């Protein structure tokens, strides 16, 4: 893959991703401010805290996190010459704008991260169909130039992507809900294992899908382990259980070795110099996330942290730490020179702000779990934590502005 | 005086004169004179003549090759004549002619002035002079004596202003050579400024015609403030533009105007809207005046390109944008949020991105249409509980409140009883939640009365002083859905009252009283209803059907004297009296409950 030949679709996806990061971070800062000074809410009229939260969450997930993946898909399917790839990204962003209007006007499914209903759901589906057509068109044009394996894998990928709109309709329906750990009302260890395995699959295929040069033979046995863990996930999911059930704890613990395996597997490839910082950052955040996720599932710890800022910390560890650095890695590799240059600045500060943010909320969550008295009072430790959170949010917002502006400096289409 | 200064002063006079004439006479005095004599379709027809003259004359003069000082002075003379004659006639036909002449004069003057600015000044300092001229125009029009003067006097002042503009224009030099420059249509500027003018005109019209909004933003006592804000912001805009960055300035102007448009709808924030609205207007107005001659890519500044740009910009963004904005809000009493967002999208597209190609427009059109259809759908649940549940979802209560009492945890003690997972998972959608900023609400209907919930929704901190919950007073305005929400919360928990009473009856505190803070705790948690002295006369006492108990003299219907009085009082403090307005204080530590109990025992006679 020629990294320098970004193509309109990839550059547009990168710019939009960074734009949505900026908007979602700005909303996050607004939410942090509302927690400190609830009276500020009157400035937003009827759009109170509860209506802004889905805007923050969904723009982070469907804007900031998803668009780098779109960028990756454009890279895999080689849509560089497509005149519709860029417009497909615009369509995606259009759906996000429609979604934001829905959430702010109180139209919601009530399902976190699956908050697409009525017109917003259909607009996202239209955007997905347009995107699928762009990829399918590229596959039809390019497939003869690809190896048999790539042709098969990308064809299979298209079939799977075709099912996404239907899955979205099912998943967003108020009538569906995943299995829960009955002791906490949260996800089971098995479902956490399953969702994380899908992330591991992405991490495993990333270097080769990008066409990075292999320095040493791959560890093919990793895929066997992956398959075995997937079977374990299905068995554990079928059996059910809670965080007091040993198989669930052990099952989630199966993720721990992947910290090292992914890192080791990636070392088999030659990574472009510009991607090194975000690759390392991602691996660190990935490791911290896996360890923290397993620890927080243990009996006693989960009981104390559930429903507290401790789990908000974990969510930020996942989104602002791991997922963001993964997205940034993809953008440095796929978003073109200007984007890569823009992302070469501010990385350390970003990581520091995320780290402090997560740490402070984790401590806050631990203290919250010890007593409920904070609900009707404002203990100083909680105030301090919220102030630090706001400041970290401002830093992340400033860096997002820097990155977005940098990505727009000059046209990079080729 | 060197040429830079003399040209700058001349531009300032010309800009101030033309702009102030437009604001004071074309937008106000002429309209009032018209309204005194005409109404309905006649009025609209006369105003349409002005817009028509403005648009057409701009294009005609820009293509005629006559753009320059002479045309500008003649146009100003036309403005003077219209101002003098407007108070002398009652005839619709004559008004139409005057309106047409004024439109033609202003259309010609603005296009010529743009060319003269571009030909006489460099961007770096030119923007400063334009900012000064724009600021003077706005500042002057907001001086109370002028703003509140009778229309005939305002007409005379306007004639004088047009004369000043002509004097300024006469000191400017015609551009040398008239080589035709690039005449491409400035779509980006039209999009950005058109959106701003459109939004500003709509907001201005709504505010101007809604007495409540007008008094709160630019009532007569606020005119000096408005003048100062307009003047200083225009100067700032000139400085900003001289450093480049008209796009960021326009984006900022949109943000200020949108915020003002939002805030002006609410009494609590209307005053603030009055501060930032004039700032937003002055920012973009300065850029609008400066753009054709100083800010656009300076290709062929001497020739027709500047005039052509000005004709397109002022014709489409100015005249059409303004008329369109007013026409779309004629019957509204509030600034519509959709206008603000639509203008924001236009400004964003115009400032941040290269203009989208047709493919983008096709896709965005399809997605926008799909979404728009769904946005206007209203799902009204027939059942009251279902409607309340819908409000719970709409307002995002799930992001701060769980509805899941974890078995075997402290949840059970303070928010129980536990409900079976099967029952919880029956909900559509399931409202377990994942984060608590406030208490679990599974059984809140058993723990809090209707009156308490209503008061808490309207003003949370009146009952819980340190609450982070925002006010939902708007849900209780006429036609609001607050009562449905309360009904849902009450019905979902009311059946649990016997279990909560049973739980409370078996509870005993597991601590000792925490020092002597009972009085402070009483002040924080009880005094708003029971009064600081415990006499049942707190500031919220009148909000409940039964007045709060007099904790000094009684009667003590729920805690009569007898065995274990202290324990019984502690239980009431902790769990309240389910089925009455007395709430529990479930999150207090046992030591605090005991301290409060001791204070209550001291109060009792």
Cα–Cα distances in angstroms (integers) from residue B133 to residues A263, B122, B170, B282, B461, in the given order: 64, 16, 16, 11, 49
> Which of A174-183, B238-247, B570-579 is predicted most confidently?
B570-579
- Fold equal for B3-375 and B507-603: no
More confident: A112 or B456: B456
| Of the listed ranges A176-190, B291-305, B545-559, the one predicted with least confidence | B291-305
**Spatial distance between the Cα atoms of B74 and B363, rounded to a whole number of angstroms:** 49
Q: Cβ–Cβ of A90/B372 closer than 8 Å? A: no
- Cross-chain Cβ contact A185/B377 below 8 Å: no
Instruction: Give the three-class secondary structure for A230.
Output: helix
For chain B, give the percent of residues with pLDDT over 70: 92
- Structure confidence at residue B79 (pLDDT): 94
Residues 241-280 of B with CB under 8 A from A: 259, 262-263, 265-266, 268-269
pLDDT of B422: 85
User: Mean pLDDT in chain A?
Assistant: 91
CB B234 within 8 A of CB B285: yes
Average pLDDT rounded to a whole number, residues A28-47: 89
The model's confidence at residue B209, banded by pLDDT at 50, 70 and 90, is confident
Side-chain half-sphere CA neighbours of B540 within 13 A: 22
List of chain A residues whose C-beta atoms are within 8 Å of the C-beta of residue B586: 372
Report how far residue A377's alpha carbon sits from residue A387's, in angstroms, rounded to the nearest whole number.
Answer: 16
Q: Which of A31, A87, A310 to mutate to test the interface with B (most CBs of B within 10 A)?
A: A87
Q: How far is CA B498 from the centre of its chain?
A: 48
pLDDT, average across residues B12-30: 92
Pair of tokens at residue A402: 């820097």
The CB-based long-range contact list for B28-35 (8 Å cut-off, 24+ gap) reads B28/B151, B28/B154, B29/B86, B29/B151, B29/B152, B29/B154, B29/B155, B29/B158, B30/B82, B30/B86, B30/B99, B30/B102, B30/B151, B30/B155, B32/B151, B33/B86, B33/B87, B33/B151, B33/B152, B33/B155, B34/B95
Q: What is the ipTM of this complex?
A: 0.91
Residue B130 burial by Cβ neighbours in a 10 Å radius (0-12, 13-18, 19+): buried
Please report the pLDDT score of residue B185 as a whole number. Answer: 78
Name the range with the highest mean pLDDT among A373-387, B153-167, B508-522: B153-167
Taking the C-alpha atoms of residue A413 and residue A160, their distance in angstroms, rounded to an integer, is 29
Give the count of alpha carbons within 13 A of A77, CB side only: 29
For tokens 């079976």, the residue is B420
- Cβ-Cβ contacts under 8 Å, B473 against chain A: none
The CATH number of the structural domain formed by B384-494 is 1.10.760.10
Residue A203: the pLDDT is 95
d(CA B40, CA B33): 14
Residues counted in chain B? 605
**pLDDT tens digits, residue range B317-360?**
888 877 777 777 666 666 777 778 888 888 888 887 666 688 88
Length of chain A: 414
In this prediction, residues B6-19 reach a mean pLDDT of: 93
Taking the model in full, what pTM does it have?
Answer: 0.80
A186: which strand partners? A181
Domain borders along chain B are 3-375, 384-494, 507-603
d(CA A337, CA A274): 10
Q: How far is CA A80 from the centre of its chain?
A: 24
Torsion of CA B113, B115, B119, B124, to 10 degrees: 80
- Number of CB atoms found within 10 A of residue B33's CB: 22
Whose CA is closest to A91, among A37, A13, A153?
A13
- For residue A375, the chain B residue with the least C-alpha distance is B438
A146 shares contact with chain B (CB less than 8 Å): no
Residues of B in contact with A48 (CB under 8 A): 395-396, 470, 472
Across B555-573, average pLDDT: 89
Quote the minimal CA–CA distance from A283 to chain B in Å: 27
Q: Around Cβ A216, how many Cβ atoms within 10 Å?
A: 8
- The Cα of A368 is separated from the nearest Cα of chain B by a number of Å equal to 10
A371 touches chain B (CB under 8 A): yes
Q: Residue B346: its chain A contacts at CB < 8 A? A: none
| Plot region of B68 (φ>0 → left; ψ -120 to 50 → alpha; else → beta) | left
Please write the tens of the pLDDT for every residue from B425-447: 888 889 998 889 999 999 999 99
SS3 B299: coil
pLDDT value, residue A215: 87
* List of chain A residues whose C-beta atoms are within 8 Å of the C-beta of residue B350: none
Q: Please give the span between the terminal C-alpha atoms of chain A, in angstroms, as a whole number.
A: 14
Average pLDDT over residues B574-600: 91
Span B390-410, pLDDT tens digits: 999 999 999 999 999 999 888
Nearest to residue B546, comparing CAs of B557, B532, B559?
Answer: B557
pLDDT tens-digit profile of B507-549? 998 877 666 688 999 999 999 999 999 999 999 998 888 889 9
Residues B507-603, CATH architecture: Orthogonal Bundle (1.10)
Tens digits of residue pLDDT in B175-192: 654 444 555 678 888 989
Q: Compute the count of residue pairs across chains A and B with CB atoms less than 8 Å apart.
A: 201
Looking at residue A413, what is its pLDDT? 40
* Chain A residues in contact with B359 (beta carbon < 8 A): 83-84, 86-87
Q: From chain B, pick out residues whose CB is under 8 angstroms from the CB of A308.
A: 436
Q: Say if the Cβ atoms of A87 and B356 lie within 8 Å.
A: yes
Over residues B296-311, the mean pLDDT reads 69
Q: Which of A51, A90, A185 lies closest to B395 in CB terms?
A: A51
Query: Does any CB of chain A come closer than 8 Å to the CB of residue B430?
Result: yes
- CB contact under 8 Å between A126 and B367, yes or no, is yes
Give the side-chain half-sphere CA count within 13 A for B254.
Answer: 25
> What is the residue extent of each domain of chain A?
187-305
pLDDT band at B35 (very low <50, low <70, confident <90, very high): confident
Closest CB to A303 among B409, B436, B589: B409
Q: What pLDDT is stored for residue A2 in this prediction?
A: 45
The pLDDT of residue B527 is 94
Q: Within an 8 Å CB–CB cutoff, is residue A302 touching chain B?
A: no
Least confident of A309-313, A331-335, B34-38, B507-511: B34-38
Place of tokens 């019957």: B331
String of DSSP letters for B375-416: HT-----SSHHHHHHHHHHHTTGGGT------TTSHHHHHH-
Instruction: Let me know if B134 is exposed, middle or buried by CB neighbors in 10 A (0-12, 13-18, 19+).
Output: buried
CB A51 to CB B437 under 8 A?
no
Query: Per the CB < 8 Å rule, is B362 touching A87?
Result: yes
CA distance B390 to chain A (A): 9
Q: Is B368's Cβ below 8 Å from some Cβ in A?
A: yes
pLDDT at B309 over 90: no
Min Cα–Cα distance to chain A from B343, Å: 14
Tell me: the pLDDT tens digits for B229-253?
999 999 999 999 988 778 889 999 9
Question: What would the two tokens of residue A20 be?
Answer: 């949505």
Q: Is A1 on the interface with B (CB under 8 A)?
A: no
The string of pLDDT tens digits covering residues A327-377 is: 999 999 999 888 999 999 999 999 999 999 999 999 999 999 988 888 887
- Gap between the Cα atoms of A203 and A222, Å rounded: 12
Region B130-150 average pLDDT = 92
Residue of A nearest to B475 (CA): A46
Q: How far is B13 from chain A (nearest CA, A)?
A: 38
Contact criterion met (CB below 8 Å) for B314 and B107: yes
Residue B592 near chain A (CB below 8 Å):
yes
Dump pLDDT digits (tens) for A75-125. 999 988 788 999 999 999 999 999 999 999 888 888 888 999 989 999 999
The pLDDT of residue B33: 85
Is the minimum CB–CB distance between A301 and chain B shorter than 8 Å? no
CB atoms within 10 A of CB A198: 10
Q: Which residues pair with A269 in a beta bridge?
A: A214
**CB-based contact, A307 to chain B, within 8 Å:** yes
Chain A residue numbers with beta carbons less than 8 Å from the beta carbon of B370 are 98, 119, 122-123, 126
Q: How many Å lie between the alpha carbon of A1 and the closest alpha carbon of chain B?
A: 26
B469-472: long-range contacts, CB 8 A cutoff, minimum separation 24: B469/A38, B469/B400, B469/B437, B469/B438, B470/A34, B470/A38, B470/A41, B470/A42, B470/A48, B470/A49, B471/A41, B471/A42, B472/A48, B472/B395
- The tokens describing B55, both together, are 């648009």
Q: Which of B359, B364, B429 sits opposite A84 (nearest CB)?
A: B359
Q: Give the gap in angstroms from C-alpha B310 to the nearest C-alpha of chain A.
A: 27
The whole-angstrom distance between A214's CA and the closest CA on chain B is: 38
pLDDT (0 to 100) of residue A159: 96
More confident residue, B597 or B302: B597
**What's the pLDDT at A412?**
42
Query: DSSP string spanning B500-543?
Result: HHHHHHT----S---TTTHHHHHHHHTHHHH-TTSSS--TTGGG
Question: Given this structure, which CATH class describes domain B3-375?
Answer: mainly alpha
């Amino acid at each position: 893959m020629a990294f320098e030949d970004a193509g309109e679709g990839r550059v547009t996806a990168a710019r939009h991703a960074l734009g949505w990061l900026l908007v979602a971070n700005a909303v996050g800062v607004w939410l942090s401010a509302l927690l400190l000074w609830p009276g500020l809410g009157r400035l937003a009229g009827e759009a109170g805290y509860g209506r802004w939260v889905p805007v923050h969450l969904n723009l982070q997930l469907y804007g900031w996190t998803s668009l780098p993946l779109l960028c990756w898909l454009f890279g895999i399917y080689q849509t560089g010459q497509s005149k519709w790839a860029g417009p497909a990204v615009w369509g995606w962003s259009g759906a996000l704008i429609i979604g934001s209007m829905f959430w702010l006007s109180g139209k919601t499914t009530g399902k976190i991260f699956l908050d697409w209903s009525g017109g917003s759901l259909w607009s996202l589906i239209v955007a997905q169909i347009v995107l699928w057509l762009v990829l399918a068109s590229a596959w039809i044009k390019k497939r003869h130039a690809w190896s048999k394996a790539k042709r098969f894998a990308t064809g299979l990928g298209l079939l799977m992507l075709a099912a996404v709109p239907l899955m979205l309709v099912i998943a967003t329906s108020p009538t569906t809900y995943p299995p829960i750990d009955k002791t906490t009302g949260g996800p089971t260890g098995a479902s956490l294992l399953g969702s994380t395995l899908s992330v591991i699959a992405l991490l495993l295929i990333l270097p080769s899908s990008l066409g990075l040069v292999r320095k040493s033979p791959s560890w093919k046995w990793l895929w066997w382990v992956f398959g075995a863990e997937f079977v374990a996930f299905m068995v554990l999911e079928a059996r059910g259980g809670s965080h007091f059930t040993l198989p669930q704890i052990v099952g989630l613990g199966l993720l721990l070795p992947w910290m090292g395996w992914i890192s080791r597997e990636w070392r088999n490839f030659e990574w472009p110099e510009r991607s090194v910082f975000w690759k390392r950052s991602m691996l660190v955040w990935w490791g911290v996330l896996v360890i923290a996720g397993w620890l927080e599932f243990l009996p006693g710890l989960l009981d104390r942290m559930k429903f507290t800022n401790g789990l908000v910390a974990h969510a930020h560890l996942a989104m602002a730490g791991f997922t963001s650095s993964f997205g940034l890695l993809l953008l440095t590799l796929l978003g073109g020179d200007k984007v890569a240059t823009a992302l070469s600045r501010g990385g350390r500060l970003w990581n520091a702000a995320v780290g402090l943010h997560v740490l402070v909320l984790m401590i806050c969550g631990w203290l919250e779990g010890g007593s409920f008295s904070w609900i009707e009072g404002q203990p100083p430790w909680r105030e301090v934590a919220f102030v630090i959170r706001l400041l970290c949010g401002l830093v992340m917002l400033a860096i997002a502005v820097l990155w977005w502006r940098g990505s727009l400096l000059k046209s990079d289409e080729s | 005086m060197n040429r830079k200064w003399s040209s700058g002063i001349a531009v300032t006079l010309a800009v101030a004169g033309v702009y102030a004439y437009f604001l004071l006479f074309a937008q106000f005095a002429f309209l009032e004179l018209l309204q005194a004599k005409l109404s309905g379709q006649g009025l609209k027809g006369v105003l349409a003549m002005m817009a028509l003259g403005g648009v057409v004359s701009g294009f005609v003069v820009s293509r005629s090759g006559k753009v320059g000082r002479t045309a500008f002075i003649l146009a100003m003379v036309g403005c003077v004549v219209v101002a003098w004659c407007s108070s002398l006639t009652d005839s619709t036909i004559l008004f139409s002619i005057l309106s047409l002449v004024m439109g033609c004069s202003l259309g010609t003057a603005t296009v010529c002035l743009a060319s003269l600015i571009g030909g006489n000044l460099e961007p770096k300092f030119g923007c400063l002079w334009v900012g000064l001229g724009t600021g003077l125009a706005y500042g002057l029009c907001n001086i109370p004596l002028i703003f509140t003067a009778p229309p005939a006097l305002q007409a005379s002042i306007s004639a004088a202003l047009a004369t000043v503009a002509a004097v300024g224009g006469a000191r400017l030099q015609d551009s040398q050579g008239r080589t035709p420059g690039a005449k491409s249509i400035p779509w980006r500027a039209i999009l950005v400024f058109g959106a701003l003018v459109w939004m500003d005109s709509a907001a201005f019209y709504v505010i101007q015609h809604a007495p409540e909004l007008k008094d709160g933003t630019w009532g007569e006592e606020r005119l000096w403030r408005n003048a100062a804000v307009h003047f200083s912001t225009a100067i700032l805009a000139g400085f900003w533009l001289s450093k480049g960055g008209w796009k960021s300035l326009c984006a900022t102007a949109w943000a200020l105007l949108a915020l003002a448009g939002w805030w002006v709808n609410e009494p609590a924030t209307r005053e603030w809207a009055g501060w930032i609205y004039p700032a937003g207007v002055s920012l973009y107005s300065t850029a609008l005046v400066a753009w054709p001659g100083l800010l656009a890519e300076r290709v062929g500044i001497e020739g027709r390109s500047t005039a052509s740009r000005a004709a397109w910009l002022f014709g489409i963004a100015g005249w059409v944008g303004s008329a369109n904005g007013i026409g779309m809000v004629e019957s509204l009493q509030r600034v519509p949020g959709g206008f603000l967002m639509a203008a924001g999208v236009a400004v964003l597209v115009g400032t941040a991105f290269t203009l989208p190609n047709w493919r983008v427009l096709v896709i965005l059109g399809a997605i926008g249409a799909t979404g728009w259809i769904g946005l206007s759908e209203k799902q009204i649940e027939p059942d009251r509980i279902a409607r309340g549940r819908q409000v719970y979802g709409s307002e995002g209560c799930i992001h701060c409140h769980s509805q899941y009492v974890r078995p075997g945890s402290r949840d059970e003690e303070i928010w129980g009883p536990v409900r079976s997972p099967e029952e919880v998972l029956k909900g559509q959608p399931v409202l377990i939640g994942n984060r608590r900023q406030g208490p679990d609400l599974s059984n809140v209907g058993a723990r809090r009365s209707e009156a308490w919930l209503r008061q808490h929704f309207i003003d949370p901190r009146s009952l819980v002083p340190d609450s982070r919950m925002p006010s939902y007073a708007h849900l209780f305005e006429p036609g609001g859905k607050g009562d449905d929400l309360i009904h849902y919360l009450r019905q979902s928990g009311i059946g649990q009252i016997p279990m909560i009473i049973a739980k409370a009856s078996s509870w005993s505190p597991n601590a000792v009283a925490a020092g002597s803070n009972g009085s402070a705790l009483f002040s924080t948690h009880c005094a708003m209803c029971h009064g600081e002295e415990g006499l049942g006369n707190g500031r919220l006492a009148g909000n409940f059907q039964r007045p709060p108990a007099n904790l000094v003299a009684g009667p003590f219907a729920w805690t009569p004297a007898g065995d274990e009085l202290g324990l019984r009082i502690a239980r009431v403090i902790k769990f309240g009296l389910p089925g009455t307005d007395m709430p529990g204080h479930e999150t207090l530590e046992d030591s605090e409950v005991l301290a409060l109990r001791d204070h209550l025992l001291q109060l009792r006679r």
